A = this chain, B = another copy of it.
Amino acid sequence: MLRIAVLGVGRIGRMHAENIAAHPRAALAGVFDTYAPAAKEVSEKLGVPNFESVDAVLASGDVDAVLIATSTATHADLIEKAVAAGKPILCEKPIDLSLARVNACATKIAGTPLPIMLGFVRRFDTGHAAVRRAIEDGTIGDLHQVVITSRDPGMAPAAYIEVSGGIFRDMTIHDFDMARFILGEEVTEVSATGSRLVDPALMAKCDDYDTVTVVLTTASGKQAIINNSRRAVYGYDQRVEALGSAGMAVSDNRRLNHLRLSTEAFTDQAAPLMNFFIDRYADAFAAEIGAFVDAVEQGKTPPVTFEDGRQALILADAALRSVREGRVVKTSEVA
């Protein structure tokens, strides 16, 4: 049993805490949150210690590892502290909104043998992972083109959008990682297009975009196309398609149930898509905990690394620059 403490028990941290508590090979070692009532509630509900401080967590002999689910701005600091304390880390994405800060953190923790895993949970979705497997086992031959459709069911609150770091660093970041996961080789060029169609006023205010397309290219010419929207009224649309020299693999959406309805007005109507990420990727979040436990217990490199987090941020920065400058941006320009 790996004893994991959770730092930050907002919506996502709380879900992680419950997943750890329910996992057969993990135990919840306790929680901490700067907002005391949240930490108290979760600690009482799950019957685990409510630590007084991060330092207390890191000093505890009953804590084998930490899961960082605090606000983004604190991630890099906490990673550095946990490494110093010798605790393996599972950190929610992104590492930081600033690539400079991420690079500084990378320098500081360079050489640590501790497993540090990034929370790009979609890699653990059974469908998306099956696409990757269809490439690795040769089913679809050499990969040529990837199409990632990733649309949120609705615009987040303005207050969230304003501090999100922009759509590329906040939302597309998951798709950048998915593209890298499926492509299996590094992206060298980024071309992005951004529009303000869902909430033009808010987007103008934030100098942000709500509808974007990004085309990523690798040195060998493999292409990955990402299309994002901040609002697909029909639900959380999460698809991955890979075209190879020998075939195509598609990971399709998941629905609330397997009902199909036909009436005088229509036929074969499906049930709603699973909304939102906590439901859609519930299996994946649970599998992510298992992968972290495996990495720590077996001393393996985690399936998603700190460097994966850094590379996704490089793509986000390149995409933003591409939109601003109306040109293809090489990743070497921003790395």
Which A positions have Cβ atoms within 8 angstroms of B? 22, 126-127, 129-131, 134, 139-142, 144-145, 147, 149, 151, 189, 191, 193, 195-198, 211, 213, 215, 217, 220-223, 225, 227, 229, 231-235, 237, 243, 245-264, 266-273, 326-328
Contacts and interface: CB of A to CB of B under 8 A. Distances in A.
Contacts of A258: 126-127, 251-254
Given A261-B134, A271-B267, A327-B326, A213 B211 contact: no
Contacts of A131: 259
A233 B243 CA distance: 9
A140 to B, nearest CB: 7
Contacts of A145: 211, 213, 227, 229
Given A127-B259, A257-B126, A264 B233 contact: yes
Contacts of A271: 130, 267
B261 A247 contact: yes
B261 A249 contact: yes
Nearest to A266: B269
A13 to B, nearest CB: 18
15 contacts: A22-B22, A145-B227, A191-B191, A191-B193, A195-B222, A234-B247, A247-B262, A248-B261, A249-B260, A250-B262, A266-B266, A267-B271, A267-B273, A269-B270, A327-B328
